[in-house]
């Protein structure tokens, strides 16, 4: 761990803890009748309004980035870290087991490491320089394999996973989206600041979700939205999991590096397991405890230099 980064490691852990709870929160909302696109749209609308207020209060209400090229990068980030990521992740739940989805989405750190190694060779200029310097060393490989094995223990608990081509491909697509988001977002946060960069991602995420909303006859049913449970979960997803956590995560990536930060995603299922037990009363199998310990050790090992 580098000097002066302990606070950002703790911040990364806090963000992942909140994002682990979002699986439970989203499951509750889908059970109440909201569609994946509607859940995404509502949470990002809340987050966008909140971050717009922060921008105006901070005197940084600029609308556009410095160049058309950077604006296109923000569009790409709004798709990979916003609309397409959440659509593929949540839609996959309709076609395959939740354990399959969670396991495959949490392989994002593997793809991030591979994309980073390739990106430093393919990309030019500031985007190549902004990527973390990583190599396929023993700690990274061993830590990754240990974390993946721990996730398998947590999610499958000795049961045999049921394969579903469509659902599993959607899950892998979500992981790839997050890996691509991680490649570019750290540098954009350094160049424009976390508030402006996150606001652009929210804006383009909302813009690109509109076609999917139009496919639903009534994406925002009033009888559902008026329920206290639905309102409180949306409030949590919009203001805490999206607004606060996206800003914090972008700061973390810019300070720790895209690979080191994304390795914390391995811990996501641990917090999902804990929150599901507390909120939904789900049983915590003994095998999952061993898996959680393996994930934690794997994350520490993968982050060693």
User: What pLDDT does residue 263 have?
Assistant: 81
- pLDDT at position 158 over 60: no
Average pLDDT for 124-152: 76
Is residue 24 over pLDDT 90? no
Give pLDDT, residue 221. Answer: 79
Tokens of 95: 């076609």
> What's the number of domains the chain is made of?
1
What are 33-46's pLDDT values in tens digits?
Answer: 888 888 888 989 99
Q: Is residue 67 part of a domain?
A: yes
More confident residue, 208 or 2: 208
Residue-level pLDDT at 82: 92
- Note the pLDDT tens digit of each residue in 178-218: 999 999 998 899 999 888 999 999 999 999 998 888 876 66
Backbone φ and ψ for 133, nearest 5 degrees, come out as: -80, 105
Read off the pTM: 0.81
Query: What's the domain range around 158?
Result: 6-302
pLDDT digits (tens, 9 = 90+) for 62-97: 788 889 999 999 999 999 999 999 889 878 877 766
pLDDT at 200: 93
Q: Is residue 74 part of a domain?
A: yes
Look at residue 154 in the predicted model and tell me its pLDDT. Answer: 65
Look at the alpha carbons of 184, 185, 186, 189 in this order and tell me if their dihedral is positive or negative.
Answer: positive
Asked, for residue 25, whether it belongs to a domain, the answer is yes
DSSP assignments along 98-129, one per residue = HHHHHHHHTTHHHHHHHHHHHHHHH--HHHHH
Q: Check whether 139 has a pLDDT greater than 80.
A: no
d(CA 110, CA 133): 15
Q: 236 lies in a domain?
A: yes
Identify whether 203 is part of a domain: yes
Q: How many CB atoms are located within 10 Å of the residue 99 CB?
A: 18
What would the two tokens of residue 144 be?
């990754």
Residue 155 has pLDDT above 70, yes or no: no
Query: Per the domain annotation, does 165 fall within a domain?
Result: yes
Could you tell me if residue 1 is inside a domain?
Answer: no
- Give the chain's mean pLDDT: 82
pLDDT of residue 303: 61
Asked which of 116-125, 191-200, 214-223, 233-242 is least confident by mean pLDDT, the reply is 214-223
Q: How far apart are CA 17 and CA 269, in angstroms?
A: 9
């Amino acid at each position: 761990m580098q000097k002066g980064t302990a606070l950002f490691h703790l911040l990364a852990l806090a963000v992942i803890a909140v994002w682990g709870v979002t699986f439970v929160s989203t499951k509750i909302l889908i059970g109440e009748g909201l569609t994946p696109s509607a859940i995404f749209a509502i949470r990002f609308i809340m987050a966008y309004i909140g971050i717009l207020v922060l921008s105006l209060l901070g005197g940084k209400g600029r609308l556009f980035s410095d160049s058309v090229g950077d604006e296109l990068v923000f569009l790409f980030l709004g798709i990979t870290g916003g609309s397409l990521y959440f659509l593929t992740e949540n839609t996959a739940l309709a076609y395959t087991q939740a354990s399959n989805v969670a396991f495959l989405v949490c392989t994002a750190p593997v793809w991030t490491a591979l994309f980073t190694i390739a990106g430093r060779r393919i990309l030019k200029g500031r985007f190549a320089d902004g990527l973390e310097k990583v190599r396929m060393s023993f700690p990274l490989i061993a830590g990754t394999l240990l974390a993946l094995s721990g996730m398998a223990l947590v999610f499958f608990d000795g049961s045999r996973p049921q394969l579903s081509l469509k659902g599993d491909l959607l899950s892998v697509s979500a992981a790839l989206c997050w890996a691509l988001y991680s490649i570019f977002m750290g540098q954009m946060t350094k160049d424009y600041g976390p508030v402006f960069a996150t606001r652009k991602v929210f804006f383009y995420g909302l813009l690109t979700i509109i076609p999917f909303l139009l496919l639903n006859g009534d994406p925002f049913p009033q009888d559902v939205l008026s329920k206290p449970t639905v309102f409180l979960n949306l409030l949590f997803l919009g203001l805490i999991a999206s607004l606060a956590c996206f800003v914090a995560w972008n700061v973390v990536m810019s300070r720790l590096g895209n690979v080191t930060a994304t390795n914390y995603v391995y811990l996501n299922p641990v917090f999902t397991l804990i929150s599901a037990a507390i909120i939904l009363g789900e049983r915590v199998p003994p095998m999952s405890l061993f898996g959680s310990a393996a994930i934690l050790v794997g994350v520490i090992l993968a982050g060693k230099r």
